[in-house]
Amino acid sequence: MAVPSSVSVTPTASPLFLRENEVRRGVELLFFGYTRLTRAIDEGLAAHGLGRAHHRALYFVARQPDLPISALLKILAITKQSLGRVLTDLADRGLVETRTGNVDRRQKLLRLTPEGIQFEAQLFDALRNSLASAYAAAGQESVTGFWRVLEGLIPAEDKAMVVALQRDI
Amino acid sequence: MAVPSSVSVTPTASPLFLRENEVRRGVELLFFGYTRLTRAIDEGLAAHGLGRAHHRALYFVARQPDLPISALLKILAITKQSLGRVLTDLADRGLVETRTGNVDRRQKLLRLTPEGIQFEAQLFDALRNSLASAYAAAGQESVTGFWRVLEGLIPAEDKAMVVALQRDI
DNA sequence: CAAGATACGTCAATATGGCTGTCCCATCTT
DNA sequence: AAGATGGGACAGCCATATTGACGTATCTTG
């Protein structure tokens, strides 16, 4: 395993054989941080009889209007059938609608209805409150580090997808 | 909402009203980073007919031998019934064993069997590979920032629990 | 010591969010 | 015209969580 030359070699060990403690700390903080963040929106979702799976779809459709279903499938990495149920629920509640693609008429492009936009924004507020206070407490350089490490956890083949999300808006 | 005075005020906005884009970036990276990391161990788990819920229990028992069940319940934040099934599965496979507490004989203290220790170490290797390469690519200051932000996501009432985990070893 | 709280186990029923496999139709590409 | 692709739908299954109720052993406290 090659070690990037930009990483300074500590006297103790190669960065790829980090002290177990540092890795466990990351595992644990990721677990607690992620689960606690997601809990921040459970109440809002439950008010509409929806779950986290619905929010994930809602979120990414909000993020990329006119997203084709195939793209959402790649992002969520679940099966067509699982996504189908989720989208049906969202459509039934008038939060998401589809249009036929004009370039490729086989595609259905997903976007939020005005109600969907409002609901997603409301859920996003809860996420923003949590994340913004964590950002503020940690400081800007910490936020940059936070992003960098997480980027390193994303396999190369998925990275383009994430970058595409963050290009627009 | 109070803003910590240590945070420099940018010309654009207060840190608690960060640009939406920065918050969305964090949400997305957390989602992809967390889910991709957890996928790293699915194969090893499936080989024993176990799922992620089993790994979470296994992990925290490995981390804190002689953990009482009540402590594990607080960490995982699931119900007694859900944990019960998971622990039964792990005990049936000879990975976890319980002893009656000597201080409080109502308690059952959880620890891994030698096979459990070996299995957890094997799963941990996969996590270490993923995290260590992300750490190495990002650099040490980034890792510190990564930790800081995640700590900020953990509610105050849960923080003591996380600190306790990271004190020993 | 009696009463109540706590730690753990267990029952039954239910919900959610995944999965596989199969088949179908419309549309695009070659 | 043939095949590939985007999407939808069927049936059935599994993993993981939930609530509520109840039982037993043990500790704590008035």
Q: How far apart are CA A152 and CA B32, in angstroms?
A: 10
In A, residues 122-141, which contact B (CB 8 Å cutoff)?
124, 127-141
pLDDT at B19: 84
Q: Interface pTM (ipTM) of the complex?
A: 0.89
Residue segments in chain A with a per-residue pLDDT below the cut of 70:
1-18, 168-169
Which of 1.20.140.10, 1.10.10.10, 3.40.50.300, 3.20.20.70 would CATH assign to domain B49-132?
1.10.10.10
Q: Which amino acid is at A146?
A: F
What is the domain partition of chain B in residue ranges?
49-132
In A, residues 14-43, which contact B (CB 8 Å cutoff)?
15-18, 20-37
Q: How far apart are CA B62 and CA B114, in angstroms?
A: 11
B6: closest CA of chain A, how far (Å): 8
Q: What is the DSSP letter of A17?
A: G
pLDDT at A29: 97
Percentage of residues in chain B having pLDDT higher than 70: 88
pLDDT at A97: 97
Are the beta carbons of A61 and A67 closer than 8 angstroms? yes
Q: How far apart are CA A31 and CA A54, in angstroms?
A: 21
Phi and psi at residue B77, to the nearest 5°: 55, 45
Q: Which residues contact A40 (CB under 8 A, 6 or more apart)?
A: A126, A127, A129, A130
* Mean pLDDT value of segment B111-125: 97
pLDDT at A21: 92
Q: What is the DSSP letter of B94?
A: T
Q: What is the DSSP letter of A139?
A: -
Q: What is the DSSP letter of B8?
A: P
> How open is the CA angle B76-B168-B62, to the nearest 5 degrees?
50
* CA within 13 Å, CB half, B12: 6
- Whether CB of A53 is under 7 Å from strand C: the answer is yes
Among A118, A149, A33, A69, smallest CA distance to B144 is for: A149
Instruction: Take residue A77 and report the two structure tokens written for it.
Output: 């990495």
CATH architecture type of domain A21-167:
Orthogonal Bundle (1.10)
CA-to-CA separations, A137 to A160, B14, B24, B138, in angstroms, rounded:
30, 13, 18, 21
Structure confidence at residue B10 as a pLDDT band (50, 70, 90): very low
